[in-house]
């Protein structure tokens, strides 16, 4: 299997339109070739390609910023002598001064397949600003490690944010290149853009079902994305960021497990099984103990659940991480009605709205959890309508069939 960067490096005809033009790269630590050479270094060594600047998304070009809302500065690359601009620092969109440094922007970002992952929003922003400035954008496509499954409510109008780039469901089932097609189509952007497609990517192929296990090395696209199993869980476990429960930051398996001090994990999973056992399929839940070294409940012993999606327990046809995590909240609320579940704090610089609503793209999920009369069938009815509509809409932008 070849990613977009590998095809661009191997095929002189493919990159011929770049000759004589100033080229910039938007990348992060997972932006590497098959040989594990960073794309910035690989491009800089090409004859006839003029690398003029680089950009870094959230967590930085080097991926050194551990947590959310930790900004990266601009700097001068000490090896290449080119400016590196941060799109998660003083600005989120490239400025006119930044755009003046290049003619073509190459976007080489490993995504996770979840609407909340901010690289998607950064993609939208650079496409919009490039369209305004008359700049070209090329997306060097990479796999969606979560594969093709679709799940979750679509973002509601008025809930757009840096963790909500558009009316996508939580698990959208597109690659970054396909998302670029959707943004250009949906927002009627007029610009010179193209997608350098992958070769040989099959999102239905076991055991990776989206991630080419055995063919590509996994490198964290962000510090708390340590493996493909996290990517499978993330469309559900990201909701934990809006709660007082630990999502496992400060452990070696972040966003695959969750818990809190004094939580009765056995009772919680039993209540989940009683409420909607079919929402727990496709994975294995294991009660566990952990002590975060930083972030929520740092230094405290937490009881919780580990969501296992490694082979051989994973089934992409039945695993529904968004429903599973919603069910955990519902079960917790039924067992302990007064539990202080929702965390009220600034999330991605939003101060007027609850983080859980911002993450989920609206208030419906929180209201369902807090309503004692609401049932799993009620949430299913809401989500299934959105999922069917999205599956029909995304047909127009699918590249890999």
Q: Would you tell me the crossing angle of helices 176-186 and 119-133 to the nearest 10 degrees?
A: 50
**Do 212 and 75 lie in a common domain?**
yes
Identify which of 165, 169, 166 has the alpha carbon closest to the alpha carbon of residue 154: 169
Domain that holds residue 128: 4-222+393-397
Q: With bands split at pLDDT 50, 70 and 90, how would you rate the model's confidence at 352?
A: confident
Give yes or no for a contact between 243 and 329, defined as CB atoms under 8 angstroms apart: yes
Least confident of 112-121, 339-348, 366-375: 339-348
Identify which of 196, 162, 208, 210 has the alpha carbon closest to the alpha carbon of residue 57: 162
Residue 201, domain CATH: 3.40.50.12170
**Do 20 and 127 lie in a common domain?**
yes
Predicted pLDDT of residue 69:
58
Q: With bands split at pLDDT 50, 70 and 90, how would you rate the model's confidence at 126?
A: very high
**Do 110 and 241 lie in a common domain?**
no
> Can you tell me the distance from the alpha carbon of 238 to that of 245, in angstroms, rounded to the nearest whole number?
11
Q: With bands split at pLDDT 50, 70 and 90, how would you rate the model's confidence at 64?
A: low
Q: Which tokens hold the place of 323?
A: 């429903």
Predicted pLDDT of residue 72:
81
The answer to whether position 378 is within a domain reads no
Residues in the chain: 401
Whole-number Cα distances in Å, 80 to 12, 53, 219: 22, 9, 23
Residue 316, domain CATH: 3.90.1150.140
- Residue 344: cis peptide before it, omega within 30 degrees of 0: no
Give yes or no for a contact between 306 and 257, defined as CB atoms under 8 angstroms apart: yes
Whole-number Cα distances in Å, 303 to 120, 173, 267, 268, 378: 33, 32, 11, 11, 29
Q: What angle do CA 104, 108, 113 make, to 5 degrees?
A: 130
The answer to whether position 384 is within a domain reads no
Based on the number of CB atoms within 10 Å of its own CB, is 92 exposed (0-12), middle (13-18) or buried (19 or more)?
A: middle
The answer to whether position 130 is within a domain reads yes
Report the side by side order of strands in the sheet with 22-27. Answer: 75-76, 83-86, 50-56, 22-27, 104-108, 136-140, 193-196
The answer to whether position 179 is within a domain reads yes
> Can you tell me the distance from the alpha carbon of 306 to that of 175, in angstroms, rounded to the nearest whole number?
27
Burial readout 196-212 (b: 16 or more C-beta within 10 A, e: otherwise): bbbeebebebeebbbbb
Q: Per-residue pLDDT for 95 more than 90?
A: yes
> Can you tell me the distance from the alpha carbon of 99 to that of 149, in angstroms, rounded to the nearest whole number?
36
The answer to whether position 387 is within a domain reads no
Tally of domains in the chain: 2
**Do 286 and 183 lie in a common domain?**
no
Residues sharing a CB contact under 8 Å with residue 317, sequence separation 6 or more, in sequence order: 149, 282
**Do 251 and 353 lie in a common domain?**
yes
**Do 33 and 123 lie in a common domain?**
yes
Q: What is the pLDDT of residues 224-282, one digit of tens each?
A: 999 999 999 999 999 999 999 999 999 999 999 999 999 999 999 999 999 999 999 99
Predicted pLDDT of residue 155:
98
| pLDDT-above-70 percentage for the chain | 98
Residues 393, 87, 356, 252, CA torsion sign: positive
Least confident of 72-86, 185-199, 235-249: 72-86
The answer to whether position 383 is within a domain reads no
**Do 107 and 197 lie in a common domain?**
yes
Taking phi over 0 as left and psi of -120 to 50 as alpha, with beta for the rest, 356 belongs to alpha
Question: Across residues 57-65, what is the average pLDDT?
Answer: 79
Compute how many other C-beta atoms are within 10 angstroms of the C-beta atom of residue 62.
14
Identify which of 282, 366, 369 has the alpha carbon closest to the alpha carbon of residue 320: 282
**Do 76 and 151 lie in a common domain?**
yes
| pLDDT-above-90 percentage for the chain | 93
Identify which of 327, 322, 285 has the alpha carbon closest to the alpha carbon of residue 306: 285
Predicted pLDDT of residue 66:
57
The answer to whether position 154 is within a domain reads yes
Q: What is the pLDDT of residues 284-317, one digit of tens each?
A: 999 999 999 999 999 999 999 999 999 999 999 9
Residues sharing a CB contact under 8 Å with residue 276, sequence separation 6 or more, in sequence order: 323, 327, 376
**Do 20 and 124 lie in a common domain?**
yes
**Do 193 and 299 lie in a common domain?**
no
Identify which of 245, 268, 391 has the alpha carbon closest to the alpha carbon of residue 328: 268
Predicted pLDDT of residue 62:
79
Determine the distance from the C-alpha atom of residue 117 to the mean position of all C-alpha atoms in its chain, rounded to a whole number: 3
Q: With bands split at pLDDT 50, 70 and 90, how would you rate the model's confidence at 355?
A: very high
Predicted pLDDT of residue 350:
83
**Do 302 and 316 lie in a common domain?**
yes
- Residue 218: cis peptide before it, omega within 30 degrees of 0: no
Residues sharing a CB contact under 8 Å with residue 347, sequence separation 6 or more, in sequence order: 68, 163, 241, 242, 355, 358, 359
**Do 22 and 116 lie in a common domain?**
yes
> Can you tell me the distance from the alpha carbon of 156 to that of 159, in angstroms, rounded to the nearest whole number?
6
Predicted pLDDT of residue 67:
60
- Whether this model's pTM surpasses 0.85: yes
The answer to whether position 291 is within a domain reads yes
């Amino acid at each position: 299997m070849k990613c977009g960067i590998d095809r661009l490096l191997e095929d002189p005809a493919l990159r011929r339109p770049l000759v004589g033009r100033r080229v910039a790269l938007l990348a992060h630590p997972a932006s590497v070739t098959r040989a594990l050479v960073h794309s910035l270094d690989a491009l800089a060594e090409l004859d006839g390609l003029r690398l003029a600047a680089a950009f870094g998304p959230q967590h930085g070009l080097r991926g050194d910023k551990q947590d959310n809302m930790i900004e990266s500065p601009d700097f001068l690359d000490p090896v290449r002598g080119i400016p590196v601009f941060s799109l998660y620092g003083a600005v989120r969109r490239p400025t006119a001064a930044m755009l003046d440094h290049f003619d073509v922007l190459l976007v080489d970002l490993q995504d996770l397949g979840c609407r909340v992952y901010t690289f998607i929003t950064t993609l939208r922003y650079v496409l919009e600003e490039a369209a305004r400035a008359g700049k070209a954008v090329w997306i060097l496509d990479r796999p969606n490690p979560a594969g093709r499954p679709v799940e979750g409510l679509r973002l509601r109008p008025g809930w757009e944010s840096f963790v909500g780039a558009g009316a996508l469901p939580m698990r959208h089932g597109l690659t970054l290149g396909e998302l670029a097609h959707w943004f250009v189509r949906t927002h009627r952007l007029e610009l010179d853009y193209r997608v350098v497609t992958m070769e040989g990517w099959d999102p239905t192929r076991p055991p990776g079902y989206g991630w080419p296990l055995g063919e590509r090395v996994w490198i964290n696209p962000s510090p708390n994305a340590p493996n493909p199993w996290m990517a499978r869980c993330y469309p559900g476990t990201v909701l934990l960021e809006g709660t007082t429960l630990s999502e496992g930051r400060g452990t070696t398996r972040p966003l695959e497990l969750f818990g809190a001090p004094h939580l009765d994990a056995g009772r919680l999973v039993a209540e989940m099984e009683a409420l909607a056992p079919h929402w727990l399929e496709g994975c294995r839940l294991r009660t566990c103990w952990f002590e975060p070294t930083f972030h929520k409940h740092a230094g405290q012993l937490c009881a919780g659940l580990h969501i296992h999606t490694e082979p051989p327990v994973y089934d992409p046809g039945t695993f529904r991480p968004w429903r599973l995590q919603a069910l955990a909240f519902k079960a917790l609320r039924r067992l302990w009605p007064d539990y202080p579940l929702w965390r009220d704090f600034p999330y991605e610089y939003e101060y007027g709205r609850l983080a859980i609503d911002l993450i989920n793209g609206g208030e419906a999920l929180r209201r369902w959890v807090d309503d004692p009369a609401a049932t799993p069938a009620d949430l299913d009815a809401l989500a299934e309508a959105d999922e069917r509509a999205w599956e029909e809409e995304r047909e127009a932008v699918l590249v890999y069939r």
